[in-house]
Amino acid sequence: MDTLEIIHPGSLTTVQDLGRNGYQQYGVPVSGAIDSYALRLGNLLVGNSEGLPSLEVTLFGCRLRFLADATIAITGADLSPTLDGKPVDMWNCTTVKRGGILAFSRLKSGCRAYLAVGGGISVPVVMGSAATYVRGHIGGFQGRALRAGDVIRTIRFEGSIPVARIPSGYIPNYASNKIELRVTLGPQDDYFTDNGIRTFLNSAYTVSTQADRMGYRLNGPRIQHRAGADIITDGIPLGAVQVPGDGLPIILLADRQTTGGYTKIATVISPDIPLLAQAKPGDEVAFRKVTQDEAFLALQAYEQRIQQLAKLLGPDTVRFDNV
Amino acid sequence: MNNGSPHFLAGGDSAIFVEFGNTVSLELNQRVHNLKLAIQRQRVPGIIETVPAYCSLLVYFDPLQIHPDKLRQTLRRLVDQPQESTISRPRLIEIPTAYGGDFGPDIEFIAKHNGLSVDEVIKIHTGTHYPIYMIGFMPGFPYLGGMSPSIAAPRLETPRSKIPAGSVGIAGTQTGIYPVESPGGWRLIGRTPFRIFDPSREPPSVFQAGDYLKFVSISPDEFASIQAKIEQGTYAVKLNSI
């Protein structure tokens, strides 16, 4: 079913899901929504299973027209979404009539919004995923970012729309210009001096202008290595904090290369990745060390909360698991 | 062969590195591939995927399906009790390659730089079975070992902005193949018509880490005929067990 027509893609609009697993062994990045929390909640709000493909809308300028009636939810950054000129209630389910025009005109907080559509967006599955890896021309809509004139299909929506509203505690506050990211040290924390580790954990860093889906390069105090920043190339987990020879940290995200040859001082824990995904150049980032056990408990609590919400929003969500 | 216990290094809450050592060697790399194979064969629940590198295997997992402590125990068992069926058996993959001319504009430089003739460069380059230590850097890019230092050469001072997919090049003492069109600074000596990486194929890469590559010299006419076969979908790459 043709559902959406891109009038203007804005800064960057791509189709994303929860990423492409199993192909990093061939050098293919995971990709997927960099704020996976917002993507998952958006899907739950429209009655989809949580990982269905949605649009990731970056910064501002995206405008699209509905070619069919649809149920949508907008989550993530507040990019001042309007439907036919009227503000749309975010983190909520909205029905749109054929011909409706949705626009993201102005950035208020965060930097990436997610548009979930009841039934889910339909693009060819490449290596098990709908996620777009723009650099490698892989997946999504013809392997690329969306352009004016593109028509996006969706799967026919046959479920019922959840009636419950999302409790306000589930809506993140992206308005702060300061975030704290919890990290576990390693895998190569032993390549840094004690002083270097202290610098990393006790300093305020700022997001540089080199911040995209691949990674966020930070500015701030330089982190001291014991003897050089090079390692024998190995894999790069999501959230790895890589410190090359210049001593400045780079946090690696969804589109990160699968392997790399620089030291990784720490790894941002999974529940905190979405916070970083909404940070903008100039925002302040601080790191707080947690133990492996604390990281495990934090992830467990985070996932439980999402599952509770899935239950609250209705049993119908289960029906779409195999779509 | 180093049979010491591997180190486990944390990669956050959902990934763990199994590090067998800290050098580039075929023995260590073989242990990486053996563990990868053992994990695949055992279908350990909760393991999402693994990424082999020179001397470590990065294991992605869902800690809510398999607790990190349990995962470590399982990995240790798989390392300590190798089964005959989980010793990876490398394959040898032949890469038909047209050398020189437009396919390899830098081959004369490589020859001159090393005091060799172009034919000698080709003979040396095709005379080796190159181990694939890992795939990374870009989709489908093989990290090859084993190139003869007698055909080594520095990278270009100014990288080319566009290198055709399938280009075979040399950088320092490494040789490699560009899986897709991209910019790059390797000295180009030839090109294969074969698509070593194709997202629409399953698996997308014709080889996997642990396999070996051999370059086979072909003429420009053979390049054209193989290319035609590839477009018709009738070309089969040569795979041999070794």
- DSSP code per residue over A267-304: EE-GGGHHHHHT--TT-EEEEEE--HHHHHHHHHHHHH
Q: For chain A, how many structural domains are there in total?
A: 2
Question: What would the mean pLDDT of A303-307 be, rounded to a whole number?
Answer: 96
Beta strands A264-268 and A240-242: pairing type?
Answer: antiparallel
Q: Can you tell me the mean pLDDT for A50-65?
A: 96
User: Which chain B residues have a beta carbon less than 8 Å from that of A21?
Assistant: 48-49, 60
Cβ-Cβ contacts under 8 Å, A303 against chain B = 64
ipTM: 0.95
What confidence category does residue A84 fall into, taking pLDDT thresholds of 50, 70 and 90?
very high
The answer to whether B139 faces chain A, any CB pair under 8 Å, is yes
CA distance B138 to A27: 6
Q: What is the pLDDT of residue A315?
A: 56
Q: Could you tell me if B163 and B224 lie in one domain?
A: yes
Tell me, yes or no, whether B96 and B144 share the same domain.
yes
- Residues 6+ positions from A57 with CB-CB distance below 8 Å: A10, A13, A79, A104, A112, A113, A114, A115
Distance (Å, rounded) from C-alpha B70 to C-alpha B61?
11
Give yes or no: residues A16 and A156 share one domain.
yes
Mean pLDDT of B179-204: 92
- Residue A247, H or E segment: none
B149 or B2: whose pLDDT is higher? B149
Q: Is residue A113 part of a domain?
A: yes
Whether residue B128 sits in one domain with residue B63 = no
Chain A: nearest CA to B10, how far in angstroms?
Answer: 5
Range of the domain at A74: 2-173+315-320
Whether residues B103 and B29 share a domain: the answer is no
Residues of A with Cβ-Cβ distance to B69 under 8 angstroms: none
Cβ separation B136–A259 shorter than 8 A: yes
Could you tell me the two tokens for B8?
């486990």
Q: Which of residues 95-134 of A touch B (CB under 8 A)?
A: 126-127
Instruction: Please check whether residues A194 and A132 belong to one and the same domain.
Output: no
Contact A267, A239 (CB under 8 A): yes
- Does a structural domain hold residue A191? yes
For residues B56 and B158, state if they share a domain. no
DSSP-derived secondary structure for B159-205: -EEEE-TTEEEEEBTEEEE-SSSEEE-PEEEEE-SS-SB-TTSSSSB
Q: Is B162 a member of any domain?
A: yes
CATH of the domain at B188: 2.40.100.10
Q: Is residue A252 part of a domain?
A: yes
B239 φ, ψ (degrees, to nearest 5)? -120, 125
- From the list A127, A260, A295, the residue facing B199 with the nearest CB is A127
B1 found inside a domain? no
Question: Which of A26, A31, A255, A256 would you mutate first to test chain B, the one with the most B CBs within 10 A?
Answer: A26
User: Do A192 and A284 share a domain, yes or no?
Assistant: yes
> Could you tell me if B103 and B196 lie in one domain?
yes
Quote the percentage of chain A above a pLDDT of 90.
89
Residues of A within 8 A of B22 (CB-CB) are: 232
What does the pLDDT average to over B41-66? 96
Q: What's A165's DSSP letter?
A: P
Q: Which of B52, B86, B120 is the last residue of a domain?
A: B86
Q: Is B158 exposed, middle or buried (0-12, 13-18, 19+ CB in 10 A)?
A: exposed
* B135 contacts A26? CB cut-off 8 A: yes
Q: Which residue has the tokens 């990876």?
A: B88
d(CA B64, CA B147): 44
Cβ contacts of A23 on chain B, cutoff 8 Å: 49, 203-204
Please list, in sequence order, all residues whose beta carbon lies within 8 angstroms of the beta carbon of residue B220, skipping any fewer than 6 positions away. Answer: B98, B101, B103
Mean pLDDT of A132-151: 97
Residue A309 in any domain: the answer is no
Q: What average pLDDT does range B177-186 have in this prediction? A: 90
Residue B201 lies in a domain: yes
CATH code of the domain covering residue B46 = 3.30.1360.40
Which range, of A150-164, A166-180, A234-248, A259-273, averages the lowest pLDDT?
Answer: A150-164
Domains contained in chain B, number? 2
**Nearest Cα residue to A99 out of A71, A72, A73, A65:** A65
Mean pLDDT, residues B39-44: 91
- Strand A259-262 and strand A230-235: the pairing is antiparallel
Same domain assignment for residues A67 and A167: yes
If asked whether residues A66 and A161 sit together in one domain, one would say yes
The pLDDT value recorded for residue A323 is 37
Q: Does B204 touch chain A (CB under 8 A)?
A: yes
- Any idea what DSSP says for residue A192? B
In a domain, residue B182? The reply is: yes
Cα B123 → chain centroid: 21
**Mean of all residue pLDDT scores within chain A:** 94
**pLDDT the model gives residue B1:** 43
Tell if the CB–CB gap between A235 and B56 is shorter than 8 Å.
yes
B2 found inside a domain? no
Per the domain annotation, does A304 fall within a domain? no
- Whether residue B75 sits in one domain with residue B110: no
Q: Using the 3D structure, point to which of B41, B69, B86 is the last residue of a domain.
A: B86
Residues A25 and A169 in one domain: yes
Higher pLDDT, A176 or A317: A176
Which neighbouring-strand residues pair with A113?
A: A57, A76
Q: Listing from the earlier edge strand, what are the strands of the sheet with B47-52?
A: B7-10, B15-19, B56-61, B47-52
Domain with residue A219: its CATH number is 2.40.100.10
Q: How confident is the model at residue B240 (pLDDT cuts 50, 70, 90)?
A: confident
Closest CA to A119 of A71, A58, A169, A189: A71
Which residues share a beta bridge with B194?
none
pLDDT of residue B86: 64
Domain boundary among B59, B86, B113: B86
Q: What is the span of the domain harbouring residue B79?
A: 7-86
Q: How far apart are the C-alpha atoms of A204 and A178, rounded to whole Å?
A: 9
**Statement to judge: residues B52 and B170 lie in one domain:** no
Unique residue bearing structure tokens 């098990």: A128
A264: in domain: yes
Whether residues A159 and A185 fall in one domain: no
Average pLDDT over residues A4-25: 97
The residue-averaged pLDDT of A26-40 equals 98
Residues A285 and A192 in one domain: yes
Beta-carbon contacts of residue A24 (< 8 Å; ≥ 6 apart): A30, A235, A258, B49, B51, B60
Does B84 score more than 90 pLDDT? no
Statement: residue B211 has pLDDT above 90: yes
Residues B178 and B106 occupy one common structural domain: yes
Position B65 in a domain: yes
Does the CB of B53 have a partner CB in chain A at under 8 Å?
A: yes
**Closest Cα to residue A269, out of A243, A301, A234?**
A301
> Residue A146 is encoded by which pair of tokens?
């969306």
Find the largest Cα–Cα distance for chain A.
62
